Chain A
Amino acid sequence: MVITFVVFTQFVYGQMSNYKSLYIYNFIKRIEWPAVQTDEAFHIVIYGDRGTYESISKIADSKLAGDRPIEVEYIDDVEDILTADLIYVDFSKRKYIPKINSWIKNRPILLVSDYKNAKLTDINLIETSDGLEFVIRPELIRDKNLKLSDMLVQLAKTDNENR
């Protein structure tokens, strides 16, 4: 029975990586970054989750972030981050979130993680038994000079709801 369980788990796991990527793409659509030159790529850094990296790379092949092309980079070491507009940190790399956050400071870089207890991130993706939800921290995002759509806030959970 476990073999079907394992194969099935892997299938669900693959699908969830794709859904996470679609969520991230939706965040990009509903958050406004400070204006830059349109030929400058929108830079996404993925740390620790190859599945999500592969899924979001496929999205980047056909979609834009506003008017900007999307570039996706996978890093093995937190020191490899040179530039970014969005950083996604996998649960397995959660201990590096404080370090990444201090590197970002208040620059317009959205920090997303699927570690549900992360406190320093702008958005936490939360996989529950019946869905994929997210917690959003509007004040942190606004401090970075990023503009949030009201719809995104409405769809998100608050920190209090997540407890």
Chain B
Amino acid sequence: MISPFAMAQKEVQNMSTEEISQLTQDELLEMPLEDLMALVRRFKLSSLEELYEKVLNPEVKTASKFDEKYFESPLSISVITAGDIEASGALNVPEALRLIPGLIVRQKTNGNYDVHIRGNDNIPSGQTLFYSENSLTLVMIDERPVYNHFQGGTFWESLPVNMENIDRIEVVYGPSSALYGPNAVSGVIHIFTKRNDVKGVESSVVMQMGAEGSQDIQGNIAFGNNNFTARITANYQKLDRFQDEYFVFENHFDTVRKGRYIPSDSIKYFADNTDSKFPNPLRSSERKAANLYLYYQKAKDEGISFSAGIQQSDIQSIFFDTREFSLTGRQSLSGYGNLKYYYKGLNFNASYNLGEQNLALGYPGYEFVYGNFQSSLEYLYKWKNLKILPGISYQYVFYDDKRFLSKDEIGIFNGRQDLNNTAVFIRADYTLFEKLRLTAAGRWEWFKYPKEDYFSYQFTASYTIDEHSVVRGVYSKANRGPFMWDYHVNFSELSQYGNTSLMTNYNKNLELKLLEMHMFEMGFRSHLSRNVTADGSIFYNQTTNYNLPEGELYQLSQNSYQLEVKKQNLPLVSKQMGASLIVETLIVKHIHAKLFGTLQMTNIDKVTSRYDLNDTLVVIINNDSKIHKSTPTFTGGFNINYRGDSKFTANTDVYFLSTQDVFTYDGMKKINSKAIVNLKLGYRFYDQHQVFISGRNIFANDAYEFIFGDRVGAEFLLGVSLKWGKQK
């Protein structure tokens, strides 16, 4: 005999999810219980499937410049969302990036980080600490590049974005200049802020304070209707150092500088003017910012958005190697505007960033006004299975140090200097038999300097084996952009070593070639079961056109020398191969977990690890190893998150870096492997309001993560998150 429930189930099973959702309350009330039970069963199954789809196969945009499913992306890509960031308790963007596979995130001082995609860092080795800075990755906020054109890299503390206003962060791995222009060499980190879907008013305030003096407050108010949204955000953060000591290099005229950590009250014995170099020795970071976002959507495919903001930051970190201390102070004050218009397939974007920066407090010559304008116009044409995206792009950068130089003072640029580049690009995307997807992208770029055109490209092929599995292959090439220092420096610096004086003249080199990377990658994505996905890739890349300052020394008198320094390209080639794997699951509906790791090895051929001044004077020692060990062989992490129907939330994440052998001008230094464990527990005490405790590095593992950096211990923050209105 067939039970009434079985009969009802058979009928309801034929209903679509949409039909279920369209049932009125009256219809549900009149429904026999057996039908209702079958309906709930159908609802739960479809809800769960939808949940798996949303969590394990989200929409991404950065890989193809249009929305697509993660599984369909032709490139290696990872994404973390607002929920991941909020759950983790990350205090800033680099810390949140530890939730993403393949990112090497090393803390230099409390809250200040070095971030690399997969590696190729600190090449050439044995040089100043500046060479450890990542100048190979393009960081963008809402398609606006936030790249430092002085000498490459990203000043993370100067990003004005509120952590709680980030919608998601996407990371694309590998050369992507063909899509995003110069500097997208090792990949792209793209931060998307929350968009225009506010109905009515919503606001939030998140405040937290730590036992070690950390303070963080973020506010956000937004209002909107069907077409228009306005949002205002503001944030303030202060973090203190966990140590009072500075690493000081002992100056020697000839070669290597041995160094050691000394208390801050003794640094005045090692250098002049230390009060202005380090006005607040215990403060590692203090920053504040405010943003305004306006969105108007006229139709689904037509709209305009504008955002503007200001930021001020003051940090102590490792960046500019002054050869006195490993740390320098850095201050930024800047504002930006970002305009975007889209109409059907047309997409226009323009942004301008204007600011003042002092890259080495207390050292004359490193203070500038700078500006950066970028714009792009592109059109996405779709015909059947073909998508073609042609476009043009223009970028202009200037630096001006005139305002900060006194009459007799010599600066780095001694006035206003600029760089610009113009590009045309095209991307084609074709799917054959709904199985094989082929893409090809190329970009031709003209620079003011160097006077040489660069062509970058990206070819991908992905094949859908079945509904559970996709394989992909990528071959791509990208180049870095020109830096102000390399093409405009005109600076002299007098150093005194005992009774010997050295005048160093830094000269520009307009012939310097831009760094280039070629990459080949194979990848595989699979739904191992309906609630478990895996994404693996193996990659090989080869990077050329590294550069290094080379000098010629002239003896002017018995104790007086002059050194003429100019950057030159090196024959050095770095070759990196590696593999990456991420496994992600919804263990049960409310528990989300992610496990990931990246294994890599980098070889350096044609190493010129000498710094020849002349026949008798050789700076920098030979590096015996051809294996580049500055990059950790293994980087990985684990993250598990509980967010259920109850009022409690819990999240823990672990981030691991293996041992690094860093070849510096102070010799070979070992940085031991390190695991950092974070934990955040929350309790929703009323409506959407939550109190939480956030433990950063809870086991107080204060081993160094970065050469000559600070030890950073545990911090426990107590916070409250207050939210009003319907929050996304």
User: CB within 8 Å of B: which residues of A?
Assistant: 1-9, 12-13, 15, 18-19, 22-23, 25-26, 30, 58-59, 62-63, 92, 128-133, 151-152, 154-155
Contact = CB atoms under 8 A, between A and B. Distances in A.
Q: Which label, helix, strand, loop or mixed, suits the secondary structure of the A interface?
A: helix
30 contacts: A1-B84, A1-B584, A2-B82, A2-B84, A2-B592, A2-B643, A3-B84, A4-B55, A5-B54, A5-B55, A5-B83, A5-B592, A6-B643, A8-B50, A8-B51, A9-B51, A9-B589, A13-B645, A19-B40, A25-B29, A26-B33, A26-B36, A59-B25, A92-B646, A129-B44, A129-B48, A130-B45, A131-B44, A132-B44, A133-B37
B643 A132 contact: no
B645 A9 contact: yes
9 closest residue pairs by CB, A with B: A2-B83, A3-B83, A131-B41, A4-B54, A26-B33, A3-B82, A132-B40, A3-B81, A1-B55
Contacts of A23: 33, 36
Nearest to A29: B33
Contact of B33 (A92, A129, A155): A155
A22 B48 CA distance: 21
A26 B37 CA distance: 11
Contacts of A154: 3-4
Given A8-B51, A9-B589, A63-B29, A15 B728 contact: no
A131 B168 CA distance: 32
B56 interface: yes
A90 B301 CA distance: 46
Contacts of A8: 47, 50-51, 54
B43 interface: yes
Contact of B79 (A1, A12, A92, A130): A1
A58 B26 CA distance: 11
A4 B3 CA distance: 38
Contact of A5 (B4, B34, B51, B80): B51
Interface residues of B, number: 47
Contacts of A6: 83, 643
A155 B82 contact: no
Interface of B: 3-5, 25-26, 28-29, 31, 33-34, 36-37, 40-41, 43-45, 47-48, 50-51, 54-56, 58, 79-84, 86-87, 167-168, 584, 586, 588-590, 592, 641, 643-646, 728
A112 to B, nearest CB: 14
A48 to B, nearest CB: 12
Contacts of B29: 22, 25, 59, 62-63
Contacts of A133: 37
B27 to A, nearest CB: 11
A151 B500 CA distance: 102
B36 A1 contact: no
Nearest to A92: B646
Contacts of B56: 1
B33 A1 contact: no
B51 A1 contact: no
B169 to A, nearest CB: 11
A56 B87 CA distance: 33
Given A1-B56, A22-B36, A30-B33, 13 more contacts: A1-B584, A3-B84, A5-B643, A6-B83, A9-B589, A12-B44, A13-B645, A18-B25, A25-B29, A26-B33, A26-B36, A129-B588, A130-B44
Contacts of A151: 4, 33-34
B48 A131 contact: no
